[in-house]
């Protein structure tokens, strides 16, 4: 690996492959010159470490949006449920404590702004232009469409749009992220960049 991360990334729970994280890091370094970065779907902070490490030295920030209540597949009884992240007292998922721990361990508390809210709520009065948007939130069609509508219009010219979990073949995975990837492609607003594993990438024209 060519990049230096502040912590052992394998010690952070999450759903991001190393090649995808490295691509996020590389694009984030340049995008941080254009404006702050924003991700939807932080979970325990794996992707946030890559984004935060890339923009810390540029004095930029990452807005890390997640309600920390988990996606459909993280709920009790579902395939990706993690009992360590379940708050039995309220019978809800809660990944925020783990996220904060990751940010502190990585020394990113002065770089990352946690936004503990749903994507739609966080975006409602958002006006700040963004150097990069990384979408890795809920995988329902409604959640993905909301993420696209809420954030993509804020990307500055030259800025980056990254969308995780792109599976062109339905047999490989859910289609909601791929559907918004297709929206971005059809919009004419972006130059398509090479996909890295399941990470779709665009540059705003």
Half-sphere CA count of 40, side-chain side, radius 13 A = 30
Among 29, 102, 111, 118, binds ligand SAH (CB under 6 A): 118
What is the Cα–Cα distance from 89 to 14, expressed in whole angstroms?
24
- Candidate residues 52, 54, 61, 67; the one interacting with ligand SAH per rule CB under 6 A: 67
DSSP for residue 113: E
The distance of closest approach from Cβ of residue 16 to Mg ion in the complex, given in angstroms and rounded to an integer, is: 7
- Which residue is closest to Mg ion by CB? 164
Distance CA 94, CA 115 (A): 14
Binding mask 132-171 for ligand SAH (x = CB under 6 A): ----xxx----x----------------------------
Helix (H) or strand (E) run with residue 65 in it: strand 62-65
**DSSP secondary-structure letter at 9?**
G
Q: How far is the CB of 44 from Mg ion (least distance, A)?
A: 12
Q: Please provide residue 200's backbone torsions phi and psi, each rounded to the nearest 5 degrees.
A: -80, 140
Give yes or no: 139 in active site: yes
Task: Check residue 119 for interaction with ligand SAH (CB under 6 A).
Answer: yes
Tokens of 34: 């254009």
Per partner kind, with CB cut-offs from 5 to 8 A, the member of Mg ion, ligand SAH, none near residue 165 is Mg ion
Residue tagged active-site, from 67, 74, 139, 164: 139
CB of 30 to ligand SAH, least distance (A): 20
Segment 114-173, which members bind Mg ion (CB under 5 A)?
A: 136, 164-165
Q: Work out which of 25, 31, 68, 159 binds ligand SAH, going by CB under 6 A.
A: 68
| Of 38-46, 100-108, 148-156, 195-203: span binding ligand SAH (CB under 6 A) | 38-46
d(CA 80, CA 41) in angstroms, rounded, equals 15
Distances (CA, A) of 10 to 13, 16, 65, 102, 117: 7, 10, 22, 12, 26
**What does the alpha-carbon distance between residue 180 and residue 104 come to, in Å, rounded to a whole number?**
33
Chain-centroid distance, C-alpha 123: 15
15, 86, 178, 202: which one binds ligand SAH (CB under 6 A):
15
Q: How far is the CB of 69 from ligand SAH (least distance, A)?
A: 5
- Three-class DSSP category at 138: coil
Residue numbers at the binding site for ligand SAH (CB under 6 A): 14-16, 40-43, 46-47, 65-71, 95, 118-119, 136-138, 143
- Where in the sequence numbering do the catalytic residues fall? 139
């Amino acid at each position: 690996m060519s990049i230096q991360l502040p912590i052992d990334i394998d010690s952070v729970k999450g759903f991001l492959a190393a090649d995808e994280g490295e691509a996020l890091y590389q694009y984030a370094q340049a995008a941080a010159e254009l404006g702050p970065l924003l991700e939807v779907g932080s979970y325990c902070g794996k992707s946030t470490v890559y984004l935060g490490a890339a923009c810390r030295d540029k004095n930029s920030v990452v807005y890390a949006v997640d309600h920390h209540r988990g996606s459909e597949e993280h709920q009790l009884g579902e395939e990706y449920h993690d009992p360590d992240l379940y708050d039995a007292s309220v019978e809800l998922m809660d990944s925020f404590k783990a996220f904060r721990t990751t940010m502190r361990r990585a020394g990113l508390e002065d770089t990352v702004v946690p936004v503990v809210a749903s994507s739609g709520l966080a975006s409602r009065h958002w006006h700040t232009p963004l150097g990069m948007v990384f979408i890795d939130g809920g995988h329902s069609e409604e959640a993905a469409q909301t993420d696209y509508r809420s954030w993509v219009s804020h990307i500055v010219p030259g800025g980056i749009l990254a969308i995780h979990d792109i599976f062109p073949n339905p047999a490989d995975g859910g289609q909601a992220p791929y559907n918004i990837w297709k929206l971005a492609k059809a919009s004419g607003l972006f130059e398509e960049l090479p996909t890295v594993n399941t990470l779709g990438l665009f540059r705003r024209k």
